[in-house]
Amino acid sequence: MRIPISDVTPECGRAEIAGWVHEVRDLGGLTFLLIRDRTGIIQVTIVKKKAPAEVLEAVKAVSRESVVRVAGTVKAIDKAPGGRELNPETFAIVSVAESPLPLDVVEKVPADLDTRLDARFLDVRKPRVAAVFKVRSTVTSATYDFLSQRGFFNIATPKVVAAATEGGTELFPIAYFEKEAFLNQSPQLYKQMMMAAGFEKVFEVGPIFRAEEHNTVRHLNEATSIDVEVSFADHNDVMVLLEDLVRHLYAAVDERCSDAIADLGVEFEVPKTPFPRLPYAEAIEIAAARIDEPIAYGDDLGTVSEKAIGEEMGEHYFITDWPTEIKPYYAMPYEDDPAICKAFDMMHPRMELSSGAQRVHQHDLLVEQIAAKGLNPDGFEFYLKPFRYGMPPHAGWGMGMERLIMTMLGLQNIREAVLFPRDRHRVVP
Ligand code: ATP
Ligand code: MG
The percentage of residues in the chain with a pLDDT greater than 70, rounded to a whole number, is 100
Choice from 205, 352, 405, 424 to test ligand 1 binding pocket (greatest atom count within 8 A of CB): 352
Q: Which ligand is nearest to the CA of 351?
A: 1
The whole-number pLDDT of residue 163 equals: 78
Q: What is the pLDDT of residues 39-49, one digit of tens each?
A: 999 999 999 99
Q: CA-CA distance, 327 to 356, in Å (whole number)?
A: 10
Residue closest via CA to ligand 1's atom 17 equals 354
CB atoms within 10 A of CB 145: 12
Q: What is the pLDDT of residue 241?
A: 99
pLDDT, tens only, 50-62: 999 999 999 999 9
Sorted by where each starts, the structural domains of the chain and their CATH numbers stand as 5-95 (2.40.50.140), 122-276+315-417 (3.30.930.10)
pTM value is: 0.96
pLDDT tens digits, one per residue of 61-119: 999 999 999 999 999 999 999 999 999 999 999 999 999 999 999 978 789 999 999 99
Q: Which residues are annotated as a binding site for Mg(2+)?
A: 352, 355
341 Cα–ligand 1 center, Å: 19
CA dihedral 283, 285, 287, 293 (to 10 degrees): 140
Q: Which ligand is nearest to the CA of 403?
A: 1
Per-chain mean pLDDT for the chain: 96
Condensed to tens digits (0 to 9), the pLDDT of residues 368-397 reads 999 999 999 998 999 999 999 999 999 999
**CB-based pocket (< 6 A), ligand 1:** 210, 212, 219-220, 223, 225, 352-355, 398-400, 402-403
347-364: average pLDDT? 98
